[in-house]
Copies of this chain bind each other. A is one copy, B any other.
Amino acid sequence: MEFQDVVRKRKMVRSFEDRPIPRDIVDRLLANAQRAPSAGFSQGWAFLALEGPEQTARYWDALWPPERRARFGWDDMFKAPLLVVCLSNKSQYVARYAEPDKNWTDRDEKRWPVPYWDIDTGMAALLVLLTAVDAGLGAVFFGVPDQAKFRATFGVPDELTAIGTIAIGYAKPHDRPSPSLKRGHRPAEQVIHKGNW
């Protein structure tokens, strides 16, 4: 698909058919995640892919208890055949920048004006979301409030933080958009500043 069409069509989709995603598309989704840029080429990220009803149910059962699911409002999100949990690893950035060419040997986190581990992993997540559109799929990105429960469920080391999970699948024809979209886009004149604030 043309790049601009992918950007134009991207939106969060929360209603999926339960049919599986072909292997080559799953592989491309995960390969493109690894093409995100990263500060110092640190690549301090990881991706946990959960495929099929058994693996995805472990996620939903641990992190979306029945009452959360019941009040969510999109029952067909839980049919997604693929979940990709996007994880950031601050320690890999701090270690990378302690190397001689960067030389932040004190490993002082105050040197970092913003958390590039989370930002770069977010860029990787966006590549997954865009690739889903390119492949004719729908996808939605959502947060992981209970990091400890998530780590315990899947044996993930403490140094990793789940910045969000992407549910991916073939979209049902009638997905209800998020009510948040009624807020509308912020006017460009509030968002874009030219030459000076």
Q: Which of B134, B163, B193 contacts A119 (CB 8 A)?
A: B163
Residues of B within 8 A of A163 (CB): 114, 119
Determine if A24 is an interface residue (Cβ-Cβ < 8 Å).
no
Chain A: residues with Cβ within 8 Å of the partner, total of: 79
A14 → chain B, closest Cβ, in Å?
13
Residues of B within 8 A of A113 (CB): 143-145, 147, 161-162
Determine the distance from Cα of A129 to Cα of B133 in the docked complex, in whole angstroms.
18
A39-B143, A122-B122, A185-B34 are known contacts. Are A49 and B192 too (CB-CB below 8 A)?
yes
- CB proximity to B under 8 Å, residues A9-54: 10, 12, 28, 30-32, 34-37, 39-41, 43, 45-51
Footprint of B on A, CB under 8 Å?
Answer: 1-8, 10, 12, 28, 30-32, 34-37, 39-41, 43, 45-51, 55, 88, 101, 113-116, 118-123, 125-127, 129-131, 133-134, 141, 143-145, 147, 154-157, 161-164, 178-181, 183, 185-186, 188, 190-197
